[in-house]
Each structure stands twice: as structure tokens, then as C-alpha cells.
Chain A
């Protein structure tokens, strides 16, 4: 039972344009959402996160939007650059006081982004 879904396995975008990656979830207990970026043969690198008390978080060229009623989040990359070509994973964790819950993430299957010159 996949609780986090990324329905687009791939995305191709021109350099300088906006990349929009989407993610849907089913578990209403998720309270924290993250995006990771992964290059081939490397581990995922943390990119940006958002708490369920917010609906937007911005960090440079990266913005994450959260729509709790729709159980949907998206990552916007503006402008897209060739170095952004990677696999992007959406992840979520449940509300919980124990610190071990912070690392117990549910991941989507990832979206391969290719930025063309």
C-alpha cells in the first residue's frame, strides 16, 4: 500500500523554464514533507521541506507547495538549470513526539527530471 505517489516517472523541461513536480499522499497523519534529489550512484540529498502548518516554503530557486485538503504537494524549480537533471523523491513522515519518527519516511517512486539546453 503506497502512501506517497509520484505519478509522473519523468519530466523534460528546457533550461530557464519552470519545472513542476507533483506528489500525492493518502495518510492524513503525515505532518512533514520533504523533497530529495538523487544523482546516479549517489544517495539522496535533502532539498527542501515543509511542515503541515504551512502551505508554502521557499529556498532560492525551489518552492514547495502543500495543499492539505487535496493531500497534494508540488515542487517548483525556477529557473531550471542543467545541473537540476536528477531523480526527485517526495517523502513524508507522520506526526509523532518520538524523534525516531523523524527518520521513518514514506517515499514516492521518484520523478526523473531532464533539463535540456
Chain B
């Protein structure tokens, strides 16, 4: 069966520090991969998606970037965090419908 791993579960970072969140999927090949963010009191918003290695599409302009160095690995990064980057970040995968989510990373920028 397919599983998705996302780490760390929680992270507290100072403003201006770098960020790297990692996500890996097991049990499937060539999945579409997604990064979503949930800000406080709001729904989930799609940030990036990837349909293959090295292929990244950005949905909203922001301070973050994404990379897919391997088929089942998806990384979310920032060179310098802003206070507004705080939120709950979720990695997700699909090979059809529906979309499946990881357990998320709670990022607090102080």
C-alpha cells in the first residue's frame, strides 16, 4: 500500500532563516506531488505541484520554492523565512483521484 512521509512534524524558525521540508512517497511510481498550506482559520491552498522529476509548477507567488530531485521526493524550501510563512504545510500525492495527504508540518516563524 502507498504511504507518504513528511517531516519534521513541527518546526520553529526565526525570521530570515532558511527552510527545508521534505516529503517522500512509498508504494507507487511516478505520482503527481503537491505542496499545500493551511493558514490559521482558512482552507488549504495549493502552493506547488509536480508531474515528474525536475518539473515544478507554482500556483501562487511567494517566498517559497519547491524541488523534486527524485521520483518520490518533494522538497519545499525558502532562503529567508518571513513571519507570513507560518502555517501548516501539507505534502500530497496522487496517481488519479482522490488526493492523499501526509500528516503535515506545523511551521512557526518567530
Contact = CB atoms under 8 A, between A and B. Distances in A.
Contact of A100 (B43, B51, B101): B51
Contacts of A104: 34, 46, 49, 59
Contacts of B99: 34, 46, 102-103, 105
A99 B44 contact: no
A32 B101 contact: no
Interface stretch (A13-21, A37-45, A55-63, A75-83): A37-45
B9 A41 contact: yes
B97 to A, nearest CB: 5
A93 B97 CA distance: 10
Contacts of A2: 43
Interface residues of B, number: 29
B90 to A, nearest CB: 5
Nearest to A43: B101
A107 B34 contact: no
Contact of B100 (A46, A49, A91, A93): A46
A86 interface: no
Q: Nearest 7 pairs between A and B by C-beta?
A: A43-B101, A107-B43, A103-B94, A107-B44, A46-B98, A103-B99, A109-B43
Interface of B: 6, 9, 32, 34, 41-46, 49, 51, 57, 59, 90, 92-104, 106
